[in-house]
Structure 1
Amino acid sequence: MNPVNPAEELLDVVDASDRVTGQLARGEVYANKLLHRCVFILARDAEGRIFVHRRTPVKLVFPSLYDMFVGGVVGAGESYDAAALREAEEELGVQGLPQPQPLFKFLYEGDDGQGWWSWVYEVRCELPVRPQVEEVAWHAFLTEEELEQRLKEWEWVPDGRAAWGRLLSEA
C-alpha cells in the first residue's frame, strides 16, 4: 500500500463557525488559505514534563520549527477527538494512549492569511516514545520552566505559540 502524499490528503473545509462547507486536498486548502480543522495535543510524561520537538524540514507548514504540541490536521469526516488520538499516537510512535482530554477550542489566524479551527488537548504518555521520523527531527521532555526558557531561544511554530499562550491564560 502506498502512503498518501500529505498534499493529497482530503480535508474538510469549514466556515467561520466551524461548519463543513466542502472537502478539498490539503495542498489546495493551503494554497487557497481556506479554513480547516486541526488538533494540538500537549503530551506529558509520567513526571509531568512536556514533549517538545523540532519539526522535520520536509513539513508542508512550519518546517524545522519547534513545537510544544503534537498534532495535525483533522481528516475529512474525522472527529476532533479521533484525530487527537490518531495524531498523538502517530507522532509519539506509541500505541494504546488514553483518549486525549479536550481543553479548549480556538480559531488560529496566522499573519500569512492561513487559519484553522483548533482543539487543544492534553494526554499523559507513560509509554516509551518513538517519534515518527517523517514528522520529528529532534525531541525531549522538558519541564514547564525549561520550555519557558526555550521560548526565548528557539524559533517556534506560531500556531503552537498561540495555543500555548491561550493554555496559560485558561489555567
Structure 2
Amino acid sequence: MSQPPEHQPEAAAPQPSPEAAREQGLLSVDEVIDIVDEHDNVVGTSPRGEAYARGLRHRCAFILARDAEDRIFVHRRTARKLVFPSMYDMFVGGVVGAGESYDETALREAEEELGVSGLPQPTRLFTFLYEDATGRGSWWSAVYEVRCELPVRPQAEEVAWHAFLTEEELTARLEEWPWVPDGLAAYRRLRELRGPR
C-alpha cells in the first residue's frame, strides 16, 4: 500500500473568498441546490454559497468505491478545499443539485471524483440526517456503494493523495488520520448496519 504524505497540511493556504473560489473552480457558489426540511422534503432552493454560509439543510450523496479486490478508495482532500481541507475520506461524493435525484448525483459525482466514465449505477444503502458539530448546519446524506474496476484518475484540485485500502488497513487508520466528520459518521453507520466484510 502506498503511504500518504505526512500530515503536514500542504501549506495551509488561506481560504479564498467565494468570488476567488469560483474563479479557481474550487466551489460553484452560484450552483443552485435544493433546501430540505428535517424530513428530507424540498422546501426551496438556494445558491450553494448562500446555503453553506447560512447553514441551510441540503442533500449530499456519499459513494464508497471498491476495486476488483474489494479494497476501498481512500483519499486526502487538498488544502484548497473550502470544506474539511486536508482531511481524509473513504467516500467520494458531493451536494445534490436543484431538481437532481440522489441517484443522479451519486453516479455523476463518483465518475467526476474518480476520474472515470462508464461506472455502473451506485447501489443505495441508506440515508441519514447528519448534524454537523462545528455549526456548519445539517444535511441529508444518501450513502452508496459502487464497484470501480477502471483505472482511477482523481481530480488534482480535489485529491492530494489516494489509494485503495483493505477494510483492515482502513480500520487501523480510523484513529490515526484526521477524517472528514460526515464521511466518518456514514462509515460507522455502514459498519453497524453490515459489520466488517
Deviation at 1:153, TM superposition (A): 1.0
Cα-to-partner distance string for 1:100-130 (whole Å, 9 max, x where unaligned): 0000000000102321000000000000000
- 1:120 is aligned, of 143, 149, 170, to 143
Q: Could you tell me which residue of structure 2 aligns to residue 160 of structure 1?
A: 183
> Of the two, which has the highest radius of gyration?
2
1:12 aligns with 2:22: no
Match of 1:61 among 72, 79, 83: 83
For residue 29 of structure 2, give the secondary structure of its aligned residue in structure 1.
Answer: helix
Pairing 1:170–2:172 present = no
Is the Cα–Cα contact under 8 Å of residues 71 and 167 in structure 2 kept in the other structure? yes
2:46 corresponds in structure 1 to: 24
Residues 68 and 147 in structure 2, CA contact (< 8 A), matched pair in contact too: yes
Unaligned stretches of 5+ residues in structure 2? 1-22
1:34 matched to 2:34? The reply is no
| Secondary structure class of the residue paired with 1:111 | coil
What is the CA RMSD across the aligned residues, in angstroms? 1.3
Count of paired positions: 170
The CA deviation at 1:134 is 1.7
Instruction: Kindly provide the amino acid, as one letter, of the partner of residue 60 in structure 2.
Output: C
Distance 1:24 1:32 in 2: 10
More deviation in 55-64 or 125-134? 55-64
Letter in 1 for 2:130: Y
Distance, in Å, in 2 between the alignment partners of 1:76 and 1:165 is 28
* Contact 2:123–2:145, Cα closer than 8 Å, also in 1: yes
- What is the match of residue 43 of structure 1? 65
CA gap of 1:88–1:17, structure 2 versus 1, over 3 A, is same
Does residue 78 of the first structure (1) align with residue 112 of the second (2)? no
**Superposition deviation, residue 64 in structure 1:** 0.9
- In structure 1, distance between residues paired with 2:42 and 2:80: 28
- Cα deviation for residue 17 of structure 1 reads 0.7
Matched, 1:102 2:124: yes
- Equivalent residue, structure 2, for 1:144: 167
Q: Tell me how far 1:4 sits from its aligned partner.
A: 8.7
TM-score (norm. length: structure 1): 0.96
CA distance in 1, matches of 2:82, 2:129: 20
CA contact (8 A) 2:26 2:157 kept: no
Secondary structure (helix, strand or coil) at the match of 1:8 reads coil
**Identity of matched residues, %:** 71
Give the letter for the 1:30 counterpart.
Y
